[in-house]
Every structure is written in structure tokens, then in C-alpha cells.
Structure 1
Amino acid sequence: MKQMLASVSALLISVALLILGHGLQSTLLPLAAEKADFSNLEIGAISSAYFIGMVLGCLGAPHVIMRAGHIRAYAAVVSLMSAAAILHPIAIDPTAWFIIRMISGFCLAGFYMIVESWLNESATNETRGSIMSAYVVVLFASLMLGQISISGMDINSFIPFAIASVTVSLAVIPVALTSANQPAPITLVRFRPIKLYHNSPAALVGALLIGVSNGALWSLTPLYGSAIGMSTNQAAFYAAAIIAGGMLSQWPIGRLSDRIDRRLVIMMLAASTAVMALAIALIAPVEFLPAAALAVVIGICSQPGYAIAVSHAFDYAEPEDFVETSSGLLLAFGLGSVVGPLVASLLMVQTGPSGLYFLVATVNVALAAFVFTRLFARPAIAPEEKFDFEYAATAQVGTVISPEPLDVDAANVIPPEEFPAYEDEVYSEADVITEEVVVAEPPEEATGEFGEGTHTTGERS
């Protein structure tokens, strides 16, 4: 294990540094915006802008990578993200911050694609699952550490923005100094939502509505904490508590979904999230410890939903459709995440801080009701026919590995016409990476041997 992780240590260090800075910004910005007298609606719009950038990055970053190559594209997106971080205290204006957050979202999508390409290139069939699991653990641990690192900082000063920028900048060093060859060129996969819906309505609608709910929670919990009287430090820990709850529950709930109808699991998660959100909205706890405990519980209920939806979609997808399936689900999740913060901020204006949880409750009631109707529309798949749940396979950030070289003449593949950044390299068709906005890895035991050198990488928030 140590030798395996040592081979990708530079990449994991790079991930840790950049996500540390990103996590710091995710907590800092809503609190700093509130201090700067931005309205709740403006803060919600700025939060949505990040997810708009993510969606645009998922669609556009592969073209940047094809044009410039992985190393140069990596240096560009990390440098631009660092510059964006330092611009916040220079241009204290809602419109400026909206644009800056869009840029950050685009850059982060490109960052995930590039890093995951390298991780896949460094992995074998035997080590890929372990490497990607380590990647996801490092990512979420760094995100939580970044969120709570704001503790003790003066959010009215330039310092936390500078620290975020410096941390992101340092992430370029491990990859810039790597001696490893850059991954092979990429190929794009088409997005066909109608086909995806016919394949798994519960998964597509689930990804969309879970995006609305989780996008609002991720973006606005620091603002909620501040609005109910928490200090800056407490608001940071409160936001991190939701992520911690999700990390605790994703694996056991995922394994449970291997044994029973995954639609039942999605429905139960949605129902329990709605109950917890409504309880928080009505109780409106103001003491930090009870509020943080409730945040952990709602994290346990709300965060695994996307992973179960992805697993459910793979249960019905053909191996050659895994890339397209996960791409579509991530886009649906991203679009939902654009809507969530904006609508939640409107409700917070009308009903106070509890508006955030009223939105979460409403969306999850709608999700539970929709999935309930699907239970009668199609019989459950037998447990032995399911793909085994994997932690790295179904995280909002992760990788889809194509089980065999993709056919560049297939209807769902958009082959690149040229690779100017790779003109000195020669690749066979089986060496082409297929990269898009994807977030999961089909289990090896369910799909057989993977085509050597053929893999697909991407991102989700």
C-alpha cells in the first residue's frame, strides 16, 4: 500500500493543497460577503455562480486540455484559480464576486480532470480502486480542514484571502516538478439525457434534486450559522459537520444498497433528510453543540444520496455506457446545485435563516415521492445482478474507468480531430483517454478486465 501511494504522492499532495485553499474559500466567502453587507440574494447568486462555473468547466475544460496538454492546462487553471482567490478583497462587489466564483468553478473542474487523468495513468487494474479511494479521502479531508482553518482568522482582513491564494498556488509545484509523462489525449462523450432518463429515471431525477439540496447546504450553511448567532469559528465547524456526517455514512449506506432495492435507500434517505431539515427549521437551535449535532445527522442523511443514485444508474447501464451515464448524472447534479443556493437565499430573505432548511425539506419530500412512484413502475433488480458499491466509484468527484477501449466511431463518442499538445507523442486508439464530466468508477469485478490505458476522468463540487 505504501509503495502504491508513494507513486502518486505528488498528485495527492497537490490535491490536498488546492482543496485546502478551496475549502477555506467556501466558508470564508459567504461570511465575508455578509460582513460586506451583501444581501442574502446576492450571496446565493454568488454561490450559484461557482456551480455555473463547474458545469461550464465540465463542458469546456476538456477542450482546454486538448489544446494545451495536461501539464500546461494544469498550470493555467491553478494559476487562474489562485488569482481569482486574491481578487475577492480587491474587488468587493457582488457582480465581481459572481464572475470570480464562476472562474473558480471552471478552474476546479479542469483541475479534477487533469489530476484524475494522472491518477488513472499511474494505476493498474489491481490498484485503481485503492488509489481512487485514497484520492477521495484526501479530497474530503482537505475540504473539511480548509473549512475549519478559518478559525482564529479575521475575515474582515486581507489575510485569509491571501492564505487561500497562496495555498492554491503551492498546488502547482508537485505536478510542475513531476517526471511522469502526461496522460494520453482525451476524447469527449456525448450527453444524451433522454436516453439516460429512460435507462434510470430515479437516478437522473435523484441527481438533479440532490444537487438542489446539497448545493444549498454546501454553500449557505456558514451563512445560516452566522445568521443564528454563531461566531465565525462556530459557523466554520458547523459547515464542516455536514461533510463529516456524509463521510461517516456513505460506505455503510452504500453497502446496504447492495442488498436491497437502491430506490428504497434513496427514498429513505430523502425522507429522513426532509424530517431532519424540517426539525432544524422549526426548532431553530441557537446553541452551537446541539446545532452541530443536528448538522452531523442531516449530513448522514443527505450526503450519500448522490452515490446511491449513481450506483442505481450503473445497475441498469451497459458497460459501454458507463462514461455517458456518469457524465449525465454529474451534469444533472451540477445544474441542480446552481438552482439550490439561489432559491434557498430567496427563502432566507422571506422566512429568515430557516428558509435554507425549508428548501432542503421540500426538495427531499419531492424526491421521496418521485422515487416512491418508480417502485411500482419497474421491478427491483436482483442483488446478484448489481454492481458492488465502492466508495471512490460514486463520490461527486471520482473517475469512470471504461471497461474497454471506446469505439471512436460510436454514436456517443466525439473523437478529437487533432491533438496539438501531443504532436510529439504517438498513441493507439486504445490509449486515448475519454474525459468528461464524470464522477464514478464501475467496479472491476462487475465489468471484467479494463482496456489498458483507456480511462475517463472528470469532476462534481
Structure 2
Amino acid sequence: MRWGTYFAVLSAVLSVGLALGVSMPLVSLRLEGWGYGSFAIGVMASMPAIGVLAGAGLASRLAARFGTPGLMRLCLWGGALSIALLALLPSYAVWLLLRLWIGMVLTIVFILGESWINQLVVEQWRGRLVALYGSSYALSQLCGPLLLGALGTDHDYGFWTGAGLLVVSPLLLLGRTGAPSTESCRVTFVDLGRFCRRLPVIAWAIALFAAFEAMILTLLPVYCLQQGFSAEVALYMVSTVVVGDALLQLPIGALADRMSRRTLFFGCALALMLSSLAIPLLIDTQGIWPLWVIFGASAGGLFTLSLVLIGERYRDDALVRANAHVAQLWGIGCLIGPVLAGAGSQWVSGHALPLLMALGAFGLVLLARRPQALELPA
């Protein structure tokens, strides 16, 4: 196994997590300071999802043309430019377009990076190495809000830090090999429909985790502010959720190599549902801090297990296309989740965010209970 390449690809993807973690909450807090409501912030949070859908359809075709390493470098630099322009052009309308572009180019990085990692790892280590990817990415997002808290939200330092990371990280991919081969084809929504019919539980879990991640980085700071916490405490709460996601992925990955993945998957879905329901009850108590950890860990476990199940079956172009479907589902989750939570928070209930997650997890629990729910058909 090419360990150097594994860690180089991992580091490049981690730079994306850190860049998004330091810039996305700043966007939401800046809009809150400008007087925008939860719905407008939710619309802003959903814009990258449209870019995700566009990027997912183009990833395989562009990778066949430029090569996986070359295309990843171009997209990382494109993301750096977009984040820099957030600082230079402080306008709601312009930010909508920039967030769309960020979603498109960085989605291609995720598709190719996850495919490259899943192609490299050996089967007996798949659960742990894919979990290390998920855990490290979550840690990079954790460091983002913490770094933003240290830099402060009154200036644009968060944007410039994110842009700088994405300028440097493509250099790590120079000379790396072992990337999956791809064919020039476009992944359509018809293909996505077939994927969802074949793997409905995995499809639901990926979309749900995408909604979770989009809402945590964008709407959770606003939710915490609305519950009476300061901006600093709100950022620490976001970081605590990501701590849970990060720290428990490696144990989950190790368990995935040793026990029934269906049982583990069902347990994560149930834990996500129960922890989501408990958030409104414990938000004003010290119990909210360990609850944030469980909330993040259970959601992250679902995504890690989904990638493990996909990686054990697909290779080369089929693996890239499967991860393109993951990105499409990610885009759908990111698009629907923040808009529904933002609208619900403004017009239905101040606790719409955790209640929406509980509802999605309940649907996943029902799907995962079916016999052979996680078996992959030929």
C-alpha cells in the first residue's frame, strides 16, 4: 500500500475541511450581524449544494481529461480564489454565486479524494483507514471554528486563512500515483435514481449526514445565539459537535472490521435520533456538552460506514461514479436541510434544527430495520 500517497491525499482533503470550518461559520455570523434572518442564512448555506450537484456530474469526465491529481489541484486553487473573493466582495447576492462555485469545485476534490483513498486501502484495514479519513476531516473542521474564535469574527482573517490553506495544499499531490482510472462520462440523476434503488439505506444516510454537516457549520451557531449564548460559546458548541464526530470515528471504523456493520449502522441511526430529540430538553443545562459529542459521533458514524460499504464493492471508474452519487446525495441533503431548518426556525419553532435531524434519523431507523437492508446487490 502507498502510505505516502494515502497521507498526501488525506492532507489535501483535510485542508478543505479546515478552510470550510474557518470560513462557513464566519459567513453565517456576518449575515446575522447584517440583520438577515434564519431563512436568508439557510438559503446562503444551501447554495454550495447546487454547486455540489453540478460538480458531481462533471467529476468523472474532467478527471478523464486532466487526470485525478491534476484536477484536484485545479479545484483546490479554484476554491482558494472563491474564499478570497468572499472577503473582497461583501455582498449577499455575490456571496450566493461564490458559495455555489465553492460547492462545485470542492465537491470534485471530495469525489476524487475519497475514491483515491478507497482505492488505495487494503481490505483488512478498510474500516479503520476510511474512519481515519472521516475522523481527520472532522478534526480539521473542529479546528476551523476554534481558529476562527482565536482570529475573531470582526475582521476577514478567517476568509484569508481559508484561502491560504487551499493555495498551499495542492503541492502535496505532486508526483503521487495510484489514483483510480476514470472514463469520460457524465453522471446523471437517472443514474442516481438507480443507485438509490440499489442502496436506499446508504443513500438516505449520506443525504442525512450532508444536511447535518451543512446545518452544523452554518445554522447551529445561529441556533445557539438564539438560545441566548454568546458568539464565542456558540462556536465552542459547534466545535464540540465536531469533536464527537472526530474522536469516535476510529473506534467505529475498528468495530466495522470486527462486527456486523448492519448492527453498528442501526445503532448510529438510533443514537442520532435520540440525541437530536434530547437537544431542546438539555440546551440550558451542562448535559448539553456530552450530548453534543454523541450527536456528532452518531451522525459521523453513519457516513463512515456508508463509505466503507461502498469501498468494499467498487473499484476504478465504478468507484468514482459511486462517489459521484455520494456527492449528488450530499448536494441534495445540503440543499434541503438548511432551507427547511432555516424556514422552520423562523416560522415554526426555534428548535427546528434538532427536530428535523430527529425526523430524518427516525426514517433511517425504519429503513435499517429491514432484513438485508445493507446488503449490496450485484
TM band (smaller chain): 0.7 to 0.9
Superimposed CA distance per residue, residues 139-165 of structure 1 (whole angstroms, 9 cap, x where no aligned partner): 332222122111232312122222222
Q: Distance in 2 between matches of 1:179 and 1:120?
A: 19
CA contact (8 A) 2:182 2:320 kept: no
- Match status 1:363 vs 2:360: yes
Please name the residue that 2:106 is paired with: 108
Which amino acid in 1 is paired with 2:52?
A: M
**Among candidates 274, 292, 297, match of residue 295 of structure 1:** 292
Kindly state the Cα deviation for residue 44 of structure 1 after the two structures are TM-superposed. Answer: 0.7
Distance 1:196 1:124, change over 3 A: closer
Q: Is this contact kept in 1: 2:132–2:249, CA < 8 A?
A: no
Q: Which residue of 1 aligns with 2:243?
A: 244
Moved more, 333-342 or 274-283: 274-283
Q: Deviation at 1:204?
A: 2.9
Query: Following TM superposition, by how much is the alpha carbon of 1:101 offset from its aligned partner in structure 2, in angstroms?
Result: 1.0
Q: Is the 8 A contact 1:89 1:158 kept in 2?
A: yes
Rate the CA distance shift 1:359–1:80 in 2: closer, same or farther, 3 A: same
Deviations 1:181-209 (A, max 9, x none): 79586214756345434433333334334
Comparing 112-121 with 25-34, greater Cα deviation is found at: 112-121
Q: Displacement, 1:97?
A: 1.5
Which structure has more relative contact order (CA 8 Å, sep 6+)? It is 2
- Higher mean C-alpha deviation, range 106-115 or range 96-105: 106-115
* 1:225 alignment counterpart: 224
Structure 1 residue 224: Cα displacement:
1.8
In structure 2, do the counterparts of structure 1 residues 353 and 149 end up closer, same or farther at CA, with 3 Å as the change threshold?
farther
Measured in 1, the distance between the counterparts of 2:14 and 2:208 equals 29
Find the aligned partners of 1:303 and 1:245 in 2 and give their Cα distance: 8
Q: Conserved in 1, the CA contact under 8 Å of 2:21 and 2:217?
A: no
1:348 aligns with 2:345: yes
2:230 is the alignment partner of 1:234: no
Cα 1:153–1:197 change in 2 (3 A) is closer
Give the alignment's TM-score, normalised by structure 2: 0.81
Q: Which amino acid aligns with 1:367?
A: L
User: For residues 238 and 192 of structure 2, what CA distance do their matches in structure 1 show?
Assistant: 33
How many Å apart are 1:272 and its aligned residue?
3.0
- Partner Cα distance (2:359, 2:170) in 1: 42
Distance 2:178 2:308 in 1: 30
Distance 2:86 2:139 in 1: 25
- Superposed CA RMSD in Å reads 3.8
Is the CA contact 1:75–1:172 (under 8 Å) kept in the aligned structure 2?
A: yes
Question: What per-residue deviation string (whole Å, max 9, x for no partner) do you get for residues 66-101 of structure 1?
Answer: 444456534432222112112223332322212111
Query: Structure 1 CA distance, aligned partners of 2:64 and 2:205?
Result: 32
Q: State the 1:47 CA deviation.
A: 1.0
- 1:186 aligns with 182
What whole-Å deviation, never above 9, does each CA across 1:14-34 have from its counterpart, x for those lacking one? 444443222211322211221
> Which residue of structure 1 lines up, in the alignment, with residue 283 of structure 2?
284
- Listed as ranges, the gaps of 5+ residues in structure 1 are 388-461
TM-score (norm 1): 0.68
Cα contact 1:55–1:106 (8 A) shared by 2: yes
Task: Answer whether contact 2:206 2:329 (CA < 8 A) is retained.
Answer: yes
Give distance in 1, aligned partners of 2:334 and 2:55.
14
Matched residue of 1:208: which SS? helix
Distance 2:307 2:48 in 1: 23
SS at match of 1:151: helix
Answer yes or no: is 1:51 the counterpart of 2:49.
yes
1:264-283 correspondence runs (5 A): 264-283=263-282
1:299-314 matched pairs, under 5 angstroms? 299-309=296-306
Q: Highest Rg: 1 or 2?
A: 1
For residues 380 and 366 of structure 1, the distance between their equivalents in structure 2, rounded to whole angstroms, comes to 13
Give yes or no for contact 2:131–2:304 (8 Å, CA) kept in 1. Answer: no
User: Cα–Cα, structure 1 residues 142 and 39, in superposed 2: closer, same or farther, change >3 Å?
Assistant: same
What letter matches 2:99 in structure 1? R
Whole-angstrom CA distance in 1 between matches of 2:11 and 2:372: 45
1:36 equivalent to 2:37? Answer no
Deviates more, 1:54-63 or 1:252-261: 252-261
Contact 2:43 2:338 in 1 (8 A): yes
Q: Of residues 145, 148, 151 in structure 1, which corresponds to 2:146?
A: 148
Paired residue type of 1:336: G
- AA aligned to 1:284 is I
Q: Distance in 2 between matches of 1:370 and 1:182?
A: 36
Contact 1:152 1:233 in 2 (8 A): no
1:216 maps to what in 2? 215
- 2:259 pairs with 1:259: yes
Q: Report the CA distance between 1:314 and its aligned residue.
A: 7.6
Question: How much does 1:296 deviate?
Answer: 0.8
Secondary structure, in 3 states, of the residue corresponding to 1:106? helix
Matches of 1:260 and 1:328, distance apart in 2: 25
Alignment partner, residue 82 of structure 2: 84
Is contact 1:35-1:156 (8 Å) kept?
A: no
Whole-Å separation in 2 of the counterparts to 1:291 and 1:13: 32
Displacement of 1:282 in angstroms is 3.6
Aligned partner of 1:337 in structure 2 is 334
SS of 1:303's partner is helix
**Number of residue-to-residue matches in the alignment:** 371
Say whether the 8 Å CA contact 2:139–2:246 is kept in structure 1. Answer: no
SS in 1 for 2:39: helix
Q: Structure 1 residues 213, 7: closer, same or farther in 2, change over 3 A?
A: closer
2:134 and 2:300 in contact (8 A); partners too = no
The superposition leaves residues 358-396 of structure 1 with CA deviations (integer Å, 9 ceiling, x where unpaired) of: 211222223323444xx2xx4578xxxx89xxxxxxxxx
Letter in 2 for 1:259: M
How far, CA to CA, are the matches of 1:365 and 1:126 in structure 2?
31
Matches within 5 A, 1:434-449: none
1:109 Cα offset (Å): 1.8
Could you give the per-residue CA deviations for residues 186-243 of structure 1, whole angstroms, max 9, x where no partner exists? 2147563454344333333343344444443343222222322333332222112222
Give the drift of 1:103: 0.9
Aligned partner letter, 1:21: A
The answer on whether the counterparts of 1:203 and 1:329 sit within 8 Å (CA) in structure 2 is: no
Structure 2 unaligned residues grouped into runs of 5+? none
